[in-house]
Every structure is written in C-alpha cells, then in structure tokens.
A and B are shown apart, each in its own frame.
Chain A
C-alpha cells in the first residue's frame, strides 16, 4: 500500500508562477525525499530533508517538513516549462533499511 499521498494529483500553472505540492505520510520516518519523473522515464532525485529538519532549499526548490502533521510540501518558484513532470515524495521507514515508499505523485504542467 502507498505510504504517502500527494496533493493535488494534478496541477496546471503558467510559466513564472510558483507551484506547491503536498505530501502526507502515515508512519514515523527517518527522512523524506522528493523525486521528479519526466513522462515514463526514471526518477531524478531533487532534495532530501531529514526528520529533524523543518525547511530546506535547493535552487528554486523549497521543501518543508512537519513531522507532527506527517506532511511535507515542495515549492517550485518561478516555474519553467521544463519543470513539467510528475513529482513524488518518498519515505524510508525506521527498521526497513533502504526500502522506499512512494506517494501517489503530483502531475505538474507548466504552460509556456
């Protein structure tokens, strides 16, 4: 079963706007990671945030983590057409080694 769920399932914005997507998960985690997937291809790692961190930045990406609410958000600022992709959060649970649980994904479309 899915550990996490992304919200919204689909998002369509104009180029230059910001995109925010959310991830909720069910159990305690060690860290949470965000990945991007272009249509039908492999996943590209974007950013990792540890359970003791609340916010992290990487270029145009900002990730927040609220362990009390078991949720995370990914903000992409000044979006570009090239950001069009599906975005997934992935969590690794304590005691499960390197087994990742992926959310359902948010499909982002950036309109030029």
Chain B
C-alpha cells in the first residue's frame, strides 16, 4: 500500500507570495492533518480534516488555510508569506481520526523556503 505523498518536496518563494501544498493520504484514510516543523518551535499542529471538514485547528494565523477533497486528498495554502513561514510542512493521515491518538502516518514533507 502506497504511503502518504506530498508535493512538491521543495519550494522556494519570496515574501508576500502565496503557496499551495498538496497531500495524498494512504488509500482508505479519511483523516489528514498538517504540521509545521521549525528548529525554533519544533513540530506544531496546524489543522486536521476529516470527510472534507476541518475538525481541529491549531494556533496559527488565518493566513494558513486548508481544504480536503472528496477523495481525501488535502491542500494547504499559506497566503502573504513571511520569512518565518520557512519550515518543513508535514502531512499525516489516519484511517478514522476519530479515536483520540490514533496512529498517524506521515509523508516525507514539503520544505518551504521563503526569501
């Protein structure tokens, strides 16, 4: 069974631009979560989608948004990029996501560099 895939793997943008990252979960998984990883803040939860609905949201500004499609694929968008948005963005999928703490399976990440 194929794992979680993320595209693109690397991205360079300039301040003020916007970016869209994509995540395809493991087949049959309906929960998709997004995390931001930086050296200073570590791994931080952005949001979780389940059945095309945002179910949980972390403490990030409104510039960070996402959506999930009927096939469970998810996209994350960051508008008006700031230098501090440079990070590794990780997507994780889980079968149901309803059982608290269900194991999540992570993709390889998208490394975003904002210049």
List residues of A whose CB falls within 8 A of some B CB: 2, 29-31, 33, 35, 40-45, 48, 88, 91-105
User: B43 is contacted by which of A30, A96, A97, A102 (Cβ under 8 Å)?
Assistant: A102
Contact across chains for A100 and B33 when beta carbons are under 8 A apart: yes
The residue of chain A having its C-beta at the shortest distance from the C-beta of B57 within the complex is A99
> In the bound complex, do residue B104 and residue A97 qualify as a contact, i.e. CB atoms below 8 Å apart?
no
Bound: A102/B79 CA distance, A: 25
Number of A-B residue pairs with CB-CB distance less than 8 Å in the complex they form: 79
Contacting residues, chain B, for A97 (C-beta < 8 A)? 48, 55-56, 97-98, 100
| B43 and A98 form a contact (CB under 8 A) | no
Which residues in B have their C-beta under 8 angstroms from that of A45? 103-106
A105 contact set on B, CB distance < 8 A: 42-43
Interface string of B79-115 (1 = CB under 8 A from A): 0000000001010101001111111111111010000
Complex contact A92–B105 (CB within 8 A): no
Q: Which 4 A-B pairs give the minimum distances between C-beta atoms?
A: A92-B101, A102-B43, A98-B97, A42-B106
Q: How far is the CB of B39 from chain A (nearest CB, A)?
A: 10
Q: B residues touching A (Cβ–Cβ < 8 Å)? A: 4, 31, 33, 35, 42-45, 48, 55-56, 58, 88, 90, 92, 94, 97-109, 111
Contact between B101 and A30, CB atoms less than 8 A apart: yes
**Contact in complex: A43, B42 (CB < 8 Å):** no
Where chain A touches its partner, the secondary structure class is strand
> In the bound complex, do residue A33 and residue B105 qualify as a contact, i.e. CB atoms below 8 Å apart?
no
Q: How far is the CB of A3 from chain B (nearest CB, A)?
A: 10
Report whether B45 and A92 are in contact in the complex, using a CB–CB cutoff of 8 Å. Answer: no
- Checking B4, B56, B104 against A96 with a beta-carbon cut-off of 8 angstroms, the contacting residue is B56
Residues of A within 8 A of B111 (CB): 40
Bound state CA distance, A74 and B4, in angstroms?
26
Residues of B within 8 A of A31 (CB): 100-101
Chain B residues whose C-beta falls within 8 Å of the C-beta of A30 in the assembled complex: 100-101
Q: A2-B42, A99-B58 are in contact. Are A42 and B103 (CB under 8 A)?
A: no
